[in-house]
């Protein structure tokens, strides 16, 4: 077997010769176009790695059962994605060393090329579970319209593939423990008790005017109405129908149960999974916002090279392109540990790590 040489293994001849300056081809090479190309090529390499990690997670969740021993590997893959996202953000810092005038020196040579044409980033969004109906339309057209040929077909086909959102929703639906005791009745009583205690504080607060007191008491009623859907499957179904929820009632209850009892050993890894999914969703949202701010800084209110409304479009897209909105709503329904209903002794024992000789 021949020795492996570093340069050949990484195919550096191909890699380092793949920066073609459009400004140079037009007759006057612009220095900062090299930076622009390398940053975006690096993005695409990291996108490839993210897809590699997400596909492994999808394969794990694609089984009828996710073995408990697989949770560490799945969470490790997702944690790696969150670390890569830090690099994606850091690359914006590097790109912003280029001034607006530096960019304008070669920008017109790029039209109509645009980040909208990144097939890999669209695949990442679909793998995570960003829905077509939640996307900001591009001049009234589907988000895939700026892609060409086989790339467009690959992204459209990925819309029908199982997403991590849907696979996790099915996994949550299979969560044990939920029927082990009448948790939801006890939890509802705890919520009522907590809200009533807060009401008493408001009623007896001498610093509030009567108008302020009435307003805060009304807000408690609104808060409890949000809790009602947690206990009532029909009310939750109405939220799903309206688009305000994505998870089924059972899956949402399971995610809340895991979040409330995260300190139980058996729920450490499941809770870590939910946290990592939120980290990834938040990471891409942050990256989209930073991209929008950078675009505004570079081109102001100009139209984007791909024909969009530039920074304004990117900002709207950042707000809507979320894969796990239900997980971000869970803190609304948390209660202090001191008010959390204790688990039955037998169930608490079953959820602990125990080693006996």
Average pLDDT, the chain: 88
Average of pLDDT values for 266-277?
Answer: 96
Of 33-42, 87-96, 176-185, 249-258, the poorest mean pLDDT is in: 176-185
**Helix, strand, coil tally for the chain in percent (to 5):** 70, 0, 30
Of 4-13, 43-52, 227-236, 295-304, the poorest mean pLDDT is in: 295-304
What tens digit of pLDDT does each residue of 62-114 get? 887 888 788 999 999 999 999 999 999 999 999 999 999 999 999 988 888 77
Residue 299 has phi, psi (to 5 degrees) of -125, 0
pLDDT at 28 over 70: yes
Average of pLDDT values for 146-171?
Answer: 94
Domain boundaries, the chain: 28-350
Distance in Å from the first CA to the final CA of the chain: 49
pLDDT at 6 over 50: yes
Per-residue CA distances from 199 to 132, 209, 215 (Å): 42, 15, 11
pLDDT, position 307? 46
Nearest to 318 by CA among 281, 271, 264, 344: 281
What tens digit of pLDDT does each residue of 273-314 get? 999 999 999 999 999 999 889 888 887 765 544 444 456 667
DSSP 178: T
pLDDT at 60 over 80: yes
More confident residue, 245 or 176: 245
pLDDT, position 139? 67
- The whole-model pTM stands at 0.88
Residue 115 has phi, psi (to 5 degrees) of -60, -20
What tens digit of pLDDT does each residue of 183-241 get? 888 888 888 888 788 888 888 888 888 888 888 888 877 777 778 889 899 999 999 99
Tell me the CATH number for domain 28-350.
1.20.58.480
């Amino acid at each position: 077997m021949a020795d492996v040489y570093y340069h050949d293994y990484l195919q550096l001849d191909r890699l380092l010769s793949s920066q073609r300056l459009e400004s140079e081809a037009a007759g006057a090479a612009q220095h900062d176009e090299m930076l622009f190309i390398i940053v975006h090529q690096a993005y695409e390499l990291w996108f490839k790695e993210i897809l590699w990690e997400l596909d492994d997670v999808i394969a794990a969740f694609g089984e009828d059962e996710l073995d408990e021993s697989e949770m560490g590997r799945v969470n490790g893959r997702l944690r790696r994605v969150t670390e890569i996202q830090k690099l994606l953000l850091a690359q914006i810092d590097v790109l912003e060393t280029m001034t607006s005038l530096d960019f304008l020196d070669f920008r017109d040579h790029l039209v109509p090329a645009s980040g909208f044409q990144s097939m890999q980033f669209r695949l990442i969004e679909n793998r995570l579970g960003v829905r077509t109906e939640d996307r900001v339309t591009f001049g009234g057209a589907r988000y895939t319209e700026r892609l060409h040929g086989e790339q467009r077909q690959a992204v459209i086909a990925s819309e029908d593939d199982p997403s991590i959102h849907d696979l996790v929703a099915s996994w949550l639906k299979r969560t044990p423990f939920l029927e082990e005791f009448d948790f939801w009745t006890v939890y509802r009583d705890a919520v009522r008790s907590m809200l009533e205690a807060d009401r008493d504080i408001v009623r007896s607060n001498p610093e509030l005017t009567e108008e302020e007191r009435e307003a805060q008491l009304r807000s408690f009623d609104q808060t409890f109405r949000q809790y009602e859907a947690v206990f009532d499957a029909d009310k939750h179904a109405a939220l799903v129908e309206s688009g305000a929820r994505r998870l089924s009632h059972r899956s949402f209850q399971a995610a809340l149960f895991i979040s409330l009892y995260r300190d139980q050993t058996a729920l450490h890894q499941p809770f870590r999974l939910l946290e990592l999914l939120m980290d990834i969703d938040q990471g891409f949202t942050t990256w989209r916002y930073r991209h929008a701010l950078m675009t505004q800084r570079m081109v102001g209110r100009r139209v984007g090279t791909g024909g969009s409304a530039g920074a304004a479009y990117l900002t709207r897209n950042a707000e809507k392109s979320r894969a796990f909105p239900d997980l971000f709503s869970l803190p609304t329904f948390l209660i202090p540990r001191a008010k959390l209903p204790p688990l039955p002794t037998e169930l608490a024992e079953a959820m602990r790590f125990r080693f006996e000789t």
